[in-house]
Structure 1
Amino acid sequence: MKSKKDEIGSLAVTFREHDHAKCASLLLDAARDLCAERGLRLTPVREKVLKLLLKSHAPLGAYDILAELSTSGFRAQPPVAYRALDFLVENGLAHRIEKINAFVACSQPHAKHSPIFMICNDCEQVAETSIKSQGSSLDRTARSIGFDIRHTVVEVEGLCAACRERMPQ
């Protein structure tokens, strides 16, 4: 029988067909568990923001989140959204996609990892994967010049398989 962590890892496949409702449910459960383990408060607004990020694999901007919060009865002020996003990012439950200044739910909240984001230029979906920092060519290169990598985020732009298939030859 697969553990929750294994099941989450196998579902983190944005550009492939998968049971997204199950994916989102497992990730929300994982976030609740992690917050409980770490003694963190997943307040109603933080949980709502995470649920919004989990609705799809498309990244959301802070003002998109703010608009959704206001229709759900939460205070429609930018600090409300930004504080919730800061909490989620700081605790490994979400990531900020620098290139497009937007946020996505972390697909591997249970694991310390260096994410790689595959951003489709057509449909704007984002897939998260990761590399092991230790032993990677980037790590070896950094060590060769005496540099100690503390944090790595890689953002790659291109076309997902579905968008490539829709393109005329």
Structure 2
Amino acid sequence: MHTALLQRAIDICLQKKIRFTAIRQRVFLLVLDQEGAISAYDLLEKLKEHDSSAKPPTIYRALDFLLEHHFIHRIESLNAYLKCEHFGCEHPMQLLICEKCKRVIELSDPVIDNAFSDQALQSGFKITNKVLEAHGICHNCLYN
């Protein structure tokens, strides 16, 4: 499955004429391997298994690239990163984060996004970065 997703990412980069270096690809695959969110530090430790010379700037440059091109999401409240279910294009995003198991559910509801943006405009507020995150308890944790 990761092979197909990696190829899709490579194709997107070729279309956009942007460099998808080996390090960026490796970090992308490391994020894909995660069931949930992962910190930059944990990603760096995993990257070091493949490249012992990897340093914090290496991981942060790769993460910045992946974020800029919408391959992953940053979870602001957890200071962590998450694979994007609809990667490669900009889209509305809302995250539901379980406080018990740390599971993250990605929603992509344009109605929620538009309502939030409309309310901001009505308040005379110009949004420059929009991250909608809600913390609570997921269905599995609630009933187990």
Q: TM-score, normalised by structure 1?
A: 0.75
Alignment match, 1:119: 97
Does the Cα contact within 8 Å between 2:67 and 2:74 map onto a contact in 1? yes
Alignment match, 1:3: none
CA distance, structure 2, for counterparts of residue 116 and residue 135 of structure 1: 8
- Give the deviation of 1:74 after TM superposition: 4.7
Whichever residue aligns with residue 126 of structure 1, its letter is V
CA distance, structure 2, for counterparts of residue 102 and residue 74 of structure 1: 22
Q: TM-score, normalised by structure 2?
A: 0.87
Where 1:103 maps in the other structure, the secondary structure is: strand
Does the Cα contact within 8 Å between 1:59 and 1:126 map onto a contact in 2? yes
Q: Deviations over 1:2-49 (max 9, x none)?
A: xxxxxxxxxxxxxxxxxxxx4x45533332221111111111111111
Q: Deviations over 1:51-101 (max 9, x none)?
A: 111112311111101111111135231111111111111111111111011
Alignment match, 2:54: 76
Gaps of 5+ in 1: 1-21
Whichever residue aligns with residue 89 of structure 2, its letter is A
Alignment match, 1:38: 16
1:128-139 alignment to 2 at 5 Å? Answer: 128-132=106-110, 136-139=114-117
Does the Cα contact within 8 Å between 2:27 and 2:59 map onto a contact in 1? yes
Higher relative contact order (CA 8 A, sep 6+): 1
CA distance, structure 1, for counterparts of residue 74 and residue 139 of structure 2: 24
Does the Cα contact within 8 Å between 1:27 and 1:107 map onto a contact in 2? no
CA distance, structure 2, for counterparts of residue 151 and residue 72 of structure 1: 33
CA distance, structure 2, for counterparts of residue 161 and residue 134 of structure 1: 21
1:66 aligns with 2:51: no
Alignment match, 1:27: 5
1:149-164 alignment to 2 at 5 Å? Answer: 149-164=127-142
Gaps of 5+ in 2: none
CA distance, structure 2, for counterparts of residue 154 and residue 71 of structure 1: 33
Whichever residue aligns with residue 63 of structure 2, its letter is L
- Give the deviation of 1:114 after TM superposition: 2.4
Where 1:136 maps in the other structure, the secondary structure is: helix
What is the percentage of aligned positions where both structures have the same residue?
Answer: 35
